[in-house]
Amino acid sequence: MDEIEQRDIAAEKILQAMKDSVDSGAAPEVVKLVTLSAAITQFVSTVGEEATANLLESLPEKVRGGAFTQEGGEAAGNGADGESE
């Protein structure tokens, strides 16, 4: 399975878990913040604080450039790991 297929599967599973949380009564904004916090926590635990901070510093430009724009209801997944496609 190539990286794009892996990203598609991961995004689909994460988005479904987020939807399930909202369907169970959690506020959408809470789910979004918890998801983001969990992702950042995982980055810190695997690559460290400095690498995570460097990644986060690059996010505004990537967001503005459309790296995270949803297409067809699915997350594009571009740049979520700090790498460009």
Global pTM reads 0.72
Q: What are phi and psi of 71, to 5 degrees?
A: -120, 120
Run of H or E including 48: none
Domain count for the chain, please give it.
1
Residue 85 is assigned to a structural domain of this protein: no
Question: Do 74 and 12 form a contact (C-beta atoms < 8 A)?
Answer: yes
Residue 41 is assigned to a structural domain of this protein: yes
Residue 72 is assigned to a structural domain of this protein: no
Residue 79 is assigned to a structural domain of this protein: no
Residue 19 is assigned to a structural domain of this protein: yes
Residue 9 is assigned to a structural domain of this protein: yes
Residue 25 is assigned to a structural domain of this protein: yes
Owning domain of residue 33: 3-64
Please list the pLDDT of the chain residue by residue as tens digits (85 residues).
999 999 999 999 999 999 999 999 999 999 999 999 999 999 999 999 999 999 999 999 999 999 999 764 444 444 444 443 3
How many Å apart are CA 48 and CA 46, to the nearest integer?
A: 6
Residues belonging to the chain:
85
Residue 82 is assigned to a structural domain of this protein: no
DSSP 71: B
